[in-house]
Amino acid sequence: MQKTLIIKNAVLFTGPESGKVLKNYDIFVRNGIIEDIFKSGSKKINAKKTIDANGRIVMPGFINSHMHFYSSFSTGLNRVKPSEKFIEVLENLWWRLDKKLSLKATYYSALVALINAIKNGTTTIIDHHASPFAIRGSLFEIEKAVRSCGLRASLCYEVSDRDGKKKTIEGLRENYEFIRHNRKNNDNFVKGLFGLHASFTLSDETLAIASDLGNSLDSGFHIHCAEDISDEEDCIRKYNMRIVERLNKFSILGPKTILAHCVCVNEREMDIIRINDAPVVLNPQSNANNAVGISDILKFAKNGILYGLGTDAMTNNMMEELRAALWMCHLKNKNPSAGFAEVSKLLLNNQKIALRHFDKIAEIKKGNYADIVILDYYPHTPLSSDNFYGHLIFGISQSDVTTTIVNGDVLMENRELKIGIDEKEVFEKASNIAGKIWSSF
């Protein structure tokens, strides 16, 4: 059966690669693929589903390049001991929370995050999971949630030595088996990376095994890199080298690898990252919240490093994170004019990162998959291709996403979910699970 959709009367931003703003345009989608883009009224095409954008902004869905679904259960948690250092944040909050996750909790925490992603127009997510006492099958539970919501996601389990050798082996196996499983599926919705926590929780033995397994699959890795100076200090003290040098030694770097944070990397490390074409993913709000510093986006740009944007689960709203990236760049450089061009490239760079794992997404053009959002924004000042990012950061970002479409399927229309899931019921179940977890804090 043919599945057809037409979006009419759009103010269309074609995407970060082409960067065009087209006014009064229609988009025709057949079986998930963008088949035609044309001036409104210039062609008569019948479709089974018609959405009238009515002059609103239509653009590609957002990409979140570093996320933690399981963090959904931290919202409102107030039984956590105050922390003065980053390692204390991990010990007092995250390493206590992740140990309490069951497979059911993992599933519902992911479902909550995915629903919120749909409501904020995020259509592709690269997630990083941890549940040390429910490792086996955890990625498969998250996959079920992803597929039920209709989004695209790359998943991994964060291997770590912090909970003992048995847990390390389970994490290695979960990554390996999940990646192989998804290779057999060979679709464009769920992918796998080989997850690693961070240098300071990984022994040389574990890194060597992970490197062998991950590289045998050509999957790429997903790791927290130099998020805090304590991670660098640990690496220098134990191994007489910096983190990126250590990762390079174990062949962890490469075009498919995600290096999250990189707040504390130096120029030498930046050179190694660039030579290996490994993308760095910035998480400005999380870094500010944890008081670890501000990643130097201007230096990444100057050094020819591919830098993208994630939320580290601080939000599901990529426009909010984009704004924060600009404010943090101004603050770091003590210059309110610094970095607008570099920050604006974050959406394009997220597209480049995602296209290393997914096919034909993140741009509204013929032949691409229809991952599209409509935002409730009518420009109140002149809008053109030249000033779109000014509108996005200072105007569009303050508007609601009204409609979210992935692969031509309407997941939300006029703020109403269309995925066959009762949001209220899901959130009530999630709240009950979270409450039981909190009671044991």
Does the pLDDT value for residue 1 go beyond 90?
A: no
CB atoms within 10 A of CB 374: 26
Task: Specify the DSSP element, H or E, that contains 332.
Answer: helix 318-333
- Please give the model's pTM, rounded to 2 decimal places: 0.97
| Residue linked to tokens 């990189």 | 262
Mean pLDDT of the chain: 97
pLDDT tens-digit map of 314-373: 999 999 999 999 999 999 999 999 999 999 999 999 999 999 999 999 999 999 999 999
Q: Provide mean pLDDT across the span 281-307.
A: 98
Domains along the chain?
4-61+360-416 (2.30.40.10), 62-354 (3.20.20.140)
pLDDT tens-digit map of 141-150: 999 999 999 9
pLDDT tens-digit map of 145-172: 999 999 999 999 999 999 999 999 999 9
Q: Which two tokens stand for residue 42?
A: 């210039």
Per-residue pLDDT, 374? 98
Q: What is the DSSP string of 107-156?
A: HHHHHHHHHHHHHTTEEEEEE-B--TTS-TTHHHHHHHHHHHHT-EEEE-
Report long-range pairs for 172-181 (Cβ below 8 Å, ≥24 apart): 172/206, 172/209, 172/210, 172/213, 173/136, 174/135, 174/136, 174/137, 174/138, 174/139, 175/139, 175/210, 175/213, 175/214, 176/213, 176/217, 178/139, 178/140, 178/143, 179/217, 179/219, 180/217, 181/140
Per-residue pLDDT, 186? 82
Q: Which two tokens stand for residue 436?
A: 């039981």
Q: Which residues pair with 26 in a beta bridge?
A: 38
| 3-class DSSP state of 61 | coil
Q: In angstroms, what CA-CA distances link 114 with 139, 177, 182, 376, 381?
A: 14, 23, 19, 21, 33
